[in-house]
Amino acid sequence: MVAGRLPAQPRSFSCPGDPDRVNSPDTRAPIEPGADAYVQVRGLHTVLGGKIIFNGLDMDIPRGRITAIMGPSGTGKTTLLRHITGQLAADVGEIRVDGRQLAGISRTQLFDLREKIGYLFQNSALLTDFTVFENVAFPLRQHLRLPEPIVRNIVLTRLQAVGLRGAAELMPAELSGGMARRVALARAIVRDPSLIIYDEPFVGLDPVALNQVLKLIRTLNDTLGITSVLVAHEFAAVRRIADHVYLIAGGKVAAQGQPDELAQRDSPWTRQFFGGEADGPVPFQYPARDYAADLGFPAGAA
């Protein structure tokens, strides 16, 4: 654990008013955009393959909180994470992570920054030639010269946290999708990063594993003061742990706020997204020619 990361006020994990929620009442205090932001995005414009992904997106990820980024498929959530981690340069706009401007940053400086970031990939991205243990130990072995017993203890505690200590000697090919995600999660948190980015962390998890992962994310946030960003579609899970939710659509932030407040907000974006409606500002269908014409009927007949 890095000194200076502990939050000023320790938080409890009970919430009398909402038994489903994994966090404490004080973390649900409204977040003012821009206030002590760990990540700041200003005027982000991105075009990929001729398609406009972001069109002037502004976003603040508050320090020490859990921020969820939601939105329809293909709206650029993972692309935004790639921008934040310097994997993809912005066409126009400014991105600051922990006060450091990403544009023009050298590879060495970028790697220095990434040492403070844990990243859970959508497809887990485990190193297929290493065992589960070696996958989790990999960042430690690469950056720290720790005695082997300490490496072993750190790795086993992280694997215990995700419920896979007994799977330490398995190869990634022997894991289910959900288990692989939990191993990837253990690897992402093994160095106690100050920012953890979770790209679709709940996919493939059974209810027991989901509950434990939610508790783990919350606990990490509360005890170490880690800033967490998660991209997810599961609103029921998101509302249990997130302090702040951004709904992005059409290349911009369509709505933002606390999860419960956002779900009840009467805007066409939130109504459609949280209600799962096919009709609304976000088209269900990918842009296409006339359906009837595509099937060989007179245009407009369908």
Partner 1 sequence: MKTSRRLSIAADALAQIGAVGLFFFSILAAIPKSLRHLLETVRQIWFVGAMSLVIIMTCGLFVGAVLGLQLYDVLSRFGSAAMSGTVVALALFRELGPVVTALLFAGRAGTSITAEIGLMRATDQLAAMEMMAVDPLAYVVAPRFLAGIVAMPLLVCVFNAMAILGAHVVCVSWLGLDNGTFWGNMTATVDVWTDLVNGIWKSAAFGGVIALIATFQGYTTAPTSEGVAYATTRTVVSSSIVVLALDFVMTAFLM
Binding site for partner 1 (CB under 8 A): 85, 87, 107, 111-112, 114-115, 117, 119, 121, 123, 125-128, 138-139, 142-143, 187
Q: DSSP letter at 158?
A: H
Of 79, 64, 36, the C-alpha closest to 231 is 79
Question: How far, in Å, CA of 152 to CA of 157, rounded?
Answer: 9
- Beta carbon nearer to partner 1, 200 or 222: 200
- Number of H helices and number of E strands within the chain? 10, 10
CB of 180 to partner 1, least distance (A): 11
Question: How far, in Å, CA of 164 to CA of 189, rounded?
Answer: 14
Bridge partners, residue 37, by sequence = 62
* C-alpha distance from residue 225 to each of 1, 58, 192, 218, 252 (Å): 10, 24, 10, 10, 28
CB of 245 to partner 1, least distance (A): 24
CB of 111 to partner 1, least distance (A): 4
CB of 255 to partner 1, least distance (A): 29
Strands 100-101, 92-97: parallel, antiparallel or unpaired by DSSP?
antiparallel
User: Which DSSP string do the residues of 184-238 spell out, in sequence order?
Assistant: HHHHHHTT--SEEEEESTTTT--HHHHHHHHHHHHHHHHHH--EEEEE-S-HHHH
CB of 135 to partner 1, least distance (A): 9
CB of 103 to partner 1, least distance (A): 18
CB of 20 to partner 1, least distance (A): 32
- Beta carbon nearer to partner 1, 159 or 183: 183
- Beta carbon nearer to partner 1, 201 or 259: 201
CB of 139 to partner 1, least distance (A): 5
The encoded tokens of residue 239 equal 């509302």
Three-class secondary structure of residue 81 per DSSP: helix
Question: How far, in Å, CA of 202 to CA of 138, rounded?
Answer: 23
- Beta carbon nearer to partner 1, 114 or 233: 114
- Beta carbon nearer to partner 1, 151 or 245: 151
- Beta carbon nearer to partner 1, 144 or 302: 144
CB of 99 to partner 1, least distance (A): 18
Q: Are 137 and 183 in contact (CB under 8 A)?
A: no
- Beta carbon nearer to partner 1, 77 or 187: 187
User: Which DSSP string do the residues of 232-286 spell out, in sequence order?
Assistant: -S-HHHHHHH-SEEEEEETTEEEEEE-HHHHHH---HHHHHHHHT-SSSSS-SSP
* C-alpha distance from residue 180 to each of 7, 21, 25, 133, 252 (Å): 31, 26, 32, 12, 32
- Beta carbon nearer to partner 1, 15 or 130: 130
